[in-house]
């Protein structure tokens, strides 16, 4: 598939599915939101971890590695002891933030309805 080619979500071999698996997690959404709020400044790993309740160091590290690999985030390491690691959204990451913001808003607005439907289905 060429970089400009559009994916087909319904094709089992399409990489779109793998990408949606990676960007569709709560940790990715929260990380991208914090980095977007800080833009154009960088955010240190420790600050990200403090601002995302419940995320483990390992899960945040895995999430950031994936975002860096996908070109959504840049990583900069300061040569200090211990090293200070900084992250920032790329242009591509900023474009993802606007899409994730719509999804987060929808979830916040409809959470009660979804919870009610879940409760009804358990009866």
For 58-110, how does the pLDDT look when each residue is reduced to its tens digit (9 = 90+)? 999 999 999 999 999 999 999 999 999 999 999 999 999 999 999 999 999 99
pLDDT of residue 93: 95
64 or 19: which carries more pLDDT confidence? Answer: 64
Tokens of 40: 């154009």
Give domain status of residue 6, yes or no.
no
Give domain status of residue 23, yes or no.
yes
Give domain status of residue 20, yes or no.
yes
pLDDT of residue 16: 86
Domain count, the chain: 1
Condensed to tens digits (0 to 9), the pLDDT of residues 32-55 reads: 999 999 999 999 999 999 999 999
pLDDT of residue 6: 80
pLDDT of residue 2: 53
- What is the CATH classification number for the domain harbouring 86? 1.10.10.10
Spatial neighbors of 88 by CB under 8 A, at least 6 apart, are 35, 38, 39, 40, 41, 42, 43, 73, 74, 76
Residue 53 sits in which domain range? 15-122
What is the pTM for the complete model shown?
0.84
């Amino acid at each position: 598939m060429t970089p400009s080619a559009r994916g087909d979500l319904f094709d089992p071999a399409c990489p779109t599915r793998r990408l949606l698996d990676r960007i569709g997690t709560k940790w990715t959404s929260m990380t991208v939101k914090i980095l977007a709020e800080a833009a154009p400044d960088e955010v240190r790993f420790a600050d990200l971890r403090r601002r995302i309740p419940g995320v483990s160091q390992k899960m945040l590290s895995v999430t950031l590695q994936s975002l860096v690999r996908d070109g959504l985030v840049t990583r900069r390491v300061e040569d200090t002891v211990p090293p200070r690691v900084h992250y920032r959204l790329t242009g591509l990451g900023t474009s993802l933030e606007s899409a994730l913001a719509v999804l987060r808003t929808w979830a916040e607005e409809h959470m009660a309805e979804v919870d009610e439907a879940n409760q009804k289905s358990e009866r």
